[in-house]
A and B are shown apart, each in its own frame.
Chain A
Amino acid sequence: DQQVKQNSPSLSVQEGRISILNCDYTNSMFDYFLWYKKYPAEGPTFLISISSIKDKNEDGRFTVFLNKSAKHLSLHIVPSQPGDSAVYFCAASARENRGSTLGRLYFGRGTQLTVWP
């Protein structure tokens, strides 16, 4: 049962324009969300995160928006650059899984972003 869903397997955007990657989740216990970026032949690398007490977090060209009522988050990349071409994974964590156990992350299937010149 996929608790984190990325329904768009791919997205193609022209350089300089905005890329919007979407993610939906089903578990209302999730309270921390992360985006990871993965290049071919490399492991995922952390990009940006957001706590459920916020609805927006910005880091340079990357902004994550969280809509808790809709159980939806999105990653905006402005402006998009060819080097942003990668697979982007959305991940979520629930408070009940942290502390004495682990920061268990639930991942989506990823969205392949292609930024063309």
Chain B
Amino acid sequence: DAMVIQNPRYQVTQFGKPVTLSCSQTLNHNVMYWYQQKSSQAPKLLFHYYDKDFNNEADTPDNFQSRRPNTSFCFLDIRSPGLGDAAMYLCATSNAHDPVSYEQYFGPGTRLTVT
């Protein structure tokens, strides 16, 4: 089945220690997104890639970076995690060429804990 995969599902890191979360997709979608979701809050878009074009949200902290080496993979790097960065991180994809559906397909998420 075509899907969006996130690894690891749970990540524990120390305060200030860099961490990388990964996302891969078999849908061959050209757009990939990273969201941060904290408890009882709406998913917050951090950035997205349209093909290789990177688009950062204005309020995404500089501490968050992303890489997309190819269509299938996308990484979220947190350079110096703080306690406030503990959250669920969701990766999603969409097919921008689809004129009808604006649906995004989500991975299962990575739960990040900062100690």
Encode contact with B along A97-117: 1 for CB under 8 Å, 0 otherwise. 011111111111110000000
Contact of B102 among A36, A44, A98, A110 (CB under 8 A): A98
How far, in angstroms, from A49 to B90 measured CA to CA in the complex?
Answer: 21
How far, in angstroms, from A33 to B36 measured CA to CA in the complex?
Answer: 21
For chain A, the count of residues having a C-beta within 8 Å of the partner chain is 28
Contact of B41 among A4, A49, A93, A109 (CB under 8 A): A109
Which residues from B are CB-within-8-Å of A109?
40-42
Shortest beta-carbon distance from B47 to chain A in Å: 10
**Any chain B CB within 8 A of the CB of A2?**
yes
How far, in angstroms, from A42 to B9 measured CA to CA in the complex?
Answer: 10
Contact of A105 among B9, B55, B102 (CB under 8 A): B102
How far, in angstroms, from A9 to B106 measured CA to CA in the complex?
Answer: 22
How far, in angstroms, from A50 to B46 measured CA to CA in the complex?
Answer: 25
A34 & B55 in contact (Cβ 8 Å cutoff):
no
Nearest opposing residue in chain B for A95, CB measure: B102
- From 67 to 115 in chain B, residues with beta carbon under 8 angstroms from any chain A beta carbon are 90, 92, 94, 96, 101-109
How far, in angstroms, from A6 to B4 measured CA to CA in the complex?
Answer: 27
Shortest beta-carbon distance from A18 to chain B in Å: 25
How far, in angstroms, from A110 to B6 measured CA to CA in the complex?
Answer: 22
Shortest beta-carbon distance from B58 to chain A in Å: 12
If A32-B102, A34-B103, A43-B90 touch, does A103 touch B41 (CB 8 Å cutoff)? Answer: no
Binding site for A on B (CB under 8 A): 4, 6, 9, 31, 33, 40-43, 45, 48, 50, 55, 90, 92, 94, 96, 101-109
Q: Which 6 pairs show the lowest CB-CB distances between chains A and B?
A: A43-B106, A103-B102, A107-B42, A109-B42, A44-B106, A43-B108
